[in-house]
Amino acid sequence: MYMFEYLVPVILLLAIIISAVRILREYERGVVFFLGRFQKVKGPGLIIVIPVIQKMVRVDLRVITFDIPTQDVISRDNVTVHVSAVLYFRVVDPERAIIQVEHYFNATSQLAQTTLRSVLGQHDLDEMLSQRDKLNVDIQNILDDQTASWGIKVTNVEIKHIDLNESMIRAIAKQAEAERERRAKIIHAEGELQASEKLLMAANVMSKNPQALQLRYLQTLNDISSENASTIIFPLPIEIMKAFSKKQSEQDE
């Protein structure tokens, strides 16, 4: 009987000690409140929290990965797109994360969704597709500024998908095809211009040297004779006749 009377207080004391012991991992911190008032941030390791008088809230300091749900965004040129992204953030000040905002995870996720729609709505569709890295940085900076007072650090934002409807995809394909045709015509025109310049230079050289024109004519005849043709027409330029007559006149003199 006497042993039972001593055993009960010992068991109660052990239960109180066990319930007061907290073990925090390296990536965890404990925000401790004493009678409802903030006392200090403890951890990692073994800490003691007095039951009833003190209360501790665990905070994870690791980077949190959050998939931002698909958002319907209207671009500046009135195109509706479906955008999904991923957000990376972590707690850098456990005290602020617990005291300054209720459920910091939900608050950060809601802010990320509204910021994503707001930033992308200020840009055209072409900018969304071609300047994704710049948009990621803009969204990250805005979120980081707004969550700093909550003790949250936004480390990165990545836009994953920008989905378009079928009609817009066909319109973009037609635009890309027209752009390719435009470039092909420009390249062809530049080639024609360069070829005409070279032909003009060659014509100027031949006009100053009739012998060069004769050699060119003979080379052309050689090329024609090498082809499998039943009928060959030999063009005889007037310039060659003048060259031959001039040469004959020089010999007669």
The closest alpha carbon to 218, from 198, 235, 231, 197, belongs to 235
pLDDT at 145: 94
pLDDT at 76: 87
pLDDT at 243: 56
pLDDT at 83: 92
pLDDT at 58: 93
pLDDT, block means (10 residues), the chain with 253 residues: 66 79 92 93 90 92 93 87 93 94 93 93 87 92 94 94 75 73 85 81 70 64 61 56 58 57
The closest alpha carbon to 62, from 23, 112, 107, 25, belongs to 25
pLDDT at 3: 61
Position 197, amino acid: E
pLDDT at 223: 64
How far does the chain reach from its first CA to its final CA, in angstroms?
157
pLDDT at 189: 86
- According to CATH, what is the number of the domain 64-169? 3.30.479.30
Alpha carbons within 13 angstroms on the beta-carbon side of residue 167 total 3
pLDDT at 77: 84
The closest alpha carbon to 83, from 166, 164, 168, belongs to 164
Say how far apart CA 44 and CA 163 lie, in whole Å. Answer: 44
- How does DSSP assign 174-223, residue by residue? HHHHHHHHHHHHHHHHHHHHHHHHHHHHHHHHHHH-HHHHHHHHHHHHHH
For the chain, give the longest Cα–Cα distance: 157
